[in-house]
Amino acid sequence: MTVRLDTLPNGLRVVTEDMPALQSAAIGLWIDAGGRHERLEQNGIAHFLEHMAFKGTARRSALQIAEEIEDVGGYINAYTSREMTAYYARVLQQDVALALDILGDIVLNPAFASDEIEVERGVILQEIGQSLDTPDDIIFDWLQEAAYPSQAMGRTILGPAERVSSFQRDDLSRFVAENYGPGQMILSAAGAVDHDEIMRQAEALFGHLQPVSQIAIEPARFAGGERREIKSLEQVHMALAFESPGYRDEDIYTAQIFASAMGGGMSSRLFQELREKRGLCYTVFAQAGAYADTGMTTIYAGTSEADIRSLAEVTASELARAGRDISEQEVARARAQMKAGLLMGLESPSSRAERLARLVSIWNRVPALEETVARVDAVSRDAVAAFARNLAGGELAVAFYGQAADAPSRADLQERLVA
Amino acid sequence: MTVRLDTLPNGLRVVTEDMPALQSAAIGLWIDAGGRHERLEQNGIAHFLEHMAFKGTARRSALQIAEEIEDVGGYINAYTSREMTAYYARVLQQDVALALDILGDIVLNPAFASDEIEVERGVILQEIGQSLDTPDDIIFDWLQEAAYPSQAMGRTILGPAERVSSFQRDDLSRFVAENYGPGQMILSAAGAVDHDEIMRQAEALFGHLQPVSQIAIEPARFAGGERREIKSLEQVHMALAFESPGYRDEDIYTAQIFASAMGGGMSSRLFQELREKRGLCYTVFAQAGAYADTGMTTIYAGTSEADIRSLAEVTASELARAGRDISEQEVARARAQMKAGLLMGLESPSSRAERLARLVSIWNRVPALEETVARVDAVSRDAVAAFARNLAGGELAVAFYGQAADAPSRADLQERLVA
């Protein structure tokens, strides 16, 4: 398998990896335009724009977009995150050019017809409703808000309903003009793909784009904080967050190994302590999320009203304990999980295309697998223990949702974290 | 890639497919033991047993099970459905034998320690709570109950909390003795696997098992019905169900193509009509589920309180209309989607292992891909239209959850379905 990376004269990067055993491919555009690129009054526009891309272009109606890709058995989708918007497709080998043509069309030529804007507004308001009906989804929005108060980083991707209700065509066009430049775009493909053909087509589709200055994002400031939403639910949902390394930080793998050892699998400390020993929860996990300039390690678990205090306190105590006694074996296991996960992920064209885009976005190159493996292997037990102590000593963001009156306060938890 | 299928003298079937490009594998045991194999007083035991498999064996503690598989970067999991329990692992090539050893151990030698039963009871009660907090999950339990009242097929997999609270060691042992025979087990593996080695190991691990007579499951009788749960939610969630073909029925692919054309992608009728034209919902989909003796085509969508009547009525009208005017192009597109989906799915070892197990369970052989493709290609527009008319003329099961006072009655919807 060969990775190839080229840059068009206007700055658009094209990265591909041929996987000779496959008869299908994943292809997409990853664009440096997400929630963090929105001004306050734009909150939700990146995501609204992502929706509008599918609602018709100069050449295709919304129905034609859907039909063209689905006529050949492919599918097309998109997502918006805090730092990126991605548009991607999965198709059979012979349909890669079609997929790229459609992706280019919907990203570059959205029609923004006013009737379609009105319809899509309704869809997004329903999406907001659906998110509010999913406790283990919405709680992460509240956690983010508590962690980064009054900052672009703390705002939701979907945006508040009031803003979504007001966006117009000009708001969309402006966000595109500010953010959708070729220097902000990475075209990534993996599977049964031909790099030279994709380059030729990329040149034809995107070669005319004029560079756009990258909007400076407001540096994130993890403040910590608390959000407690009382509602009559079956479970009390809990989410915790701590400041942790960004993508480019030396110790990003230390953070990931820590998260894995704490809540990455069945052998992890929180799974063992909360679920296996105490039967307090069904779902518990920890993750080390990363952004350009910072990161956030998050923990989630849900339990009954009677047990929320105990769940939260044990979680905090386990985090404190990890700083003292995390073992060589636990760190070795987390390393093995990361490396195997990496290898298995590479066997899927979708996750491979996504990984290529992320690596190019972070490093402007694709580090060899061995390089990543060496960095994972270099993480020591002592580094993880030191990381854990530092994390537990930092500010905490916490969100509770449900019958949460008995949940401990943030101050209580902070105390336990350093006890 | 080569599929190989062998049967041990005691009836346990072993099916594998080597995928030479991969360095990892998926391996698992699929057992004919699910919710339909439970008597009323056992409801929830198949799932409880699935949980207890991970709670220690004669040779391994719960922690050891987790550590052994995660030490090598693999993972292990399980699920229970109405007709099956599956235990499966994902590991690197060199760890396939370890994964199979652990799978065999947890399935054949669970310890059922009484303290572990008590802890796991708590975990499952939390799982029930989590499910109740997820409207687009729990509504399908209610739909199933409405469709198959007072039948094993209509009961939930998790079981009611009262029963889960009462299960003891003997209940678990009895369900194992009744259902976990070698004739009920399929060992399936795909990826970097060696069939002969797996056969040898399977013989050593499972060769001693004595056959168990298969429990006769109560034939399912789709009665249809209604469930309306009023709750203060953001959305009103709607799920509909219709009787449709079982796994072995001639027209199972007709049902799947119908579901795909109605709600399988962005170009599907319900997506176009409900979301793209009217902006009524964010999520809408249709699926053709199948069981041994019957099947159930389901439709889900969620909208606001003000729009639930309209959402439900338009859905019913679209189902009625499909019987009249579904087009050659729509059927051709659904065929293309099914075939491409099949090919892409085969590129993942997990979905391939699962598919092999299902095919062996249904047909006791693995039909060539071309055979499946030919059956998909044989589905005509007229057959889909006739199927749609028949479906719409049959009994309806419907569930609403949320501020659903304004949702139409089942009788109203049945009328629209044949209008």
Contact A279 B21 (CB under 8 A): no
| Closest residue of chain B to A120, computed from CA coordinates | B279
Q: What are phi and psi of B415, to 5 degrees?
A: -65, -45
| Vertex B36 angle, CA B32 and B42, to 5° | 105
pLDDT at residue A188 greater than cutoff 90: yes
State the average pLDDT over residues B379-406. Answer: 98
Contact A63 B132 (CB under 8 A): no
What are the pLDDT digits (tens) for B314-350?
999 999 999 999 999 999 999 999 999 999 999 999 9
Contact A126 B282 (CB under 8 A): yes
Residues of A in contact with B123 (CB under 8 A): 275, 279, 281-282
Residues of B in contact with A277 (CB under 8 A): 119
Per the CB < 8 A criterion, the answer to whether A242 and A369 are in contact is no
Neighbours of B101 (CB within 10 A): 17
Give the one of B19, B121, B237 whose C-beta lies nearest to A279's C-beta: B121
Element (H, E) at B230: strand B225-230
CA gap B171, B215 in Å, rounded: 16
Contact B344 A90 (CB under 8 A): yes
State the pLDDT confidence band at B1, using cuts at 50, 70 and 90.
low
Mean pLDDT of chain B: 97
CA B161 vs. chain centroid, Å, equals 22
Contact B66 A343 (CB under 8 A): no
Reported in sequence order, the residue ranges of A132-182 that DSSP labels E, i.e. its strands, are: none
Give the one of A73, A232, A343 whose C-beta lies nearest to B23's C-beta: A343
Contact B278 A122 (CB under 8 A): yes
CA gap A217, A83 in Å, rounded: 9
What are the pLDDT digits (tens) for A155-174?
999 999 999 999 999 999 99
Give the one of A22, A121, A339 whose C-beta lies nearest to B347's C-beta: A22
Contacts of B141 (CB under 8 A, 6+ apart): B131, B156
CA gap B74, A338 in Å, rounded: 10
Chain A closest-CA separation from residue B334 CA (Å): 8
Task: Give the per-residue pLDDT at A370.
Answer: 95
How many inter-chain contacts (A to B, CB under 8 Å) are there?
Answer: 211
The amino acid at B359: L
Give the one of B66, B122, B303 whose C-beta lies nearest to A126's C-beta: B303
What are the pLDDT digits (tens) for B47-104?
999 999 999 999 999 999 999 999 999 999 999 999 999 999 999 999 999 999 999 9
What would the two tokens of residue A205 be?
């589709």
Strand pairing class (A396-402; B13-18): unpaired
Contact B279 A123 (CB under 8 A): yes
Please, is B332 exposed, middle or buried when counting C-beta atoms within 10 Å of its C-beta (0-12, 13-18, 19+)? middle
The residue from A17, A38, A41, A50 that is catalytic is A50
Residues of A in contact with B282 (CB under 8 A): 123-124, 126-127, 129-130
State the pLDDT confidence band at A97, using cuts at 50, 70 and 90.
very high
Per the CB < 8 A criterion, the answer to whether A296 and A147 are in contact is yes
Per the CB < 8 A criterion, the answer to whether A242 and A311 are in contact is no
Q: Please report, rounded to a whole number, the percentage of residues in chain B having pLDDT higher than 70.
A: 100
Contacts of B278 (CB under 8 A, 6+ apart): A119, A122, B310, B314
What would the two tokens of residue B226 be?
């209604």
HEC string for B109-120: CECCCHHHHHHH
Contact B118 A347 (CB under 8 A): no
| Closest residue of chain B to A56, computed from CA coordinates | B276
Contact B66 A272 (CB under 8 A): yes
Q: Give B213-216's long-range contacts (Cβ < 8 A, gap of 24+).
A: B213/B181, B214/B32, B214/B181, B214/B183, B214/B184, B215/B37, B215/B178, B215/B179
| Closest residue of chain B to A20, computed from CA coordinates | B21
Neighbours of B114 (CB within 10 A): 9
Residues of B in contact with A48 (CB under 8 A): none
Task: Give the per-residue pLDDT at A39.
Answer: 96
* Paired strand residues for B299: B240, B286
Residue B204 CA: distances (Å) to CA of A244, B5, B209: 48, 17, 10
Q: What are phi and psi of B46, to 5 degrees?
A: -60, -45
Q: What are phi and psi of B61, to 5 degrees?
A: -75, 170
Q: What are phi and psi of A266, to 5 degrees?
A: -70, -25
pLDDT at residue A280 greater than cutoff 80: yes
CA gap B27, B97 in Å, rounded: 10
Nearest CA-CA partner of A397 in A223, A258, A256, A246: A223
Strand pairing class (A2-7; B24-31): unpaired
Which site among A22, A90, A133, A139 would you substitute to test the B interface, given the most B Cβ atoms closer than 10 Å to its Cβ?
A133
Which site among B55, B90, B133 would you substitute to test the A interface, given the most A Cβ atoms closer than 10 Å to its Cβ?
B133
CA gap B333, B300 in Å, rounded: 21
Which site among B24, B126, B138 would you substitute to test the A interface, given the most A Cβ atoms closer than 10 Å to its Cβ?
B126
Chain A closest-CA separation from residue B219 CA (Å): 33
Nearest CA-CA partner of B213 in B52, B37, B30, B42: B37
Task: Give the per-residue pLDDT at A10.
Answer: 98
Contact B275 A123 (CB under 8 A): yes
State the average pLDDT over residues B291-306. Answer: 97
Please, is A310 exposed, middle or buried when counting C-beta atoms within 10 Å of its C-beta (0-12, 13-18, 19+)? middle
Contacts of A103 (CB under 8 A, 6+ apart): A27, A28, A29, A76, A87, A88, A89
ipTM score: 0.94
State the pLDDT confidence band at B205, using cuts at 50, 70 and 90.
very high
Contact A133 B132 (CB under 8 A): no
pLDDT at residue A1 greater than cutoff 90: no
Residues of B in contact with A338 (CB under 8 A): 73
DSSP structural state of residue A229: E
The residue from B38, B50, B145, B178 that is catalytic is B50
In the annotation, is A197 catalytic?
Answer: no
DSSP structural state of residue A182: G
Chain B closest-CA separation from residue A208 CA (Å): 30
pLDDT at residue A357 greater than cutoff 90: yes
Q: Give the end-to-end CA distance of chain B in Å, rounded to a whole number.
A: 50
Per the CB < 8 A criterion, the answer to whether A27 and A69 are in contact is no
What would the two tokens of residue B76 be?
């292990």
Per the CB < 8 A criterion, the answer to whether A230 and A403 are in contact is yes
Looking up tokens 């979907």 gives: A158
CA gap A9, A11 in Å, rounded: 5
Mean pLDDT of chain A: 97
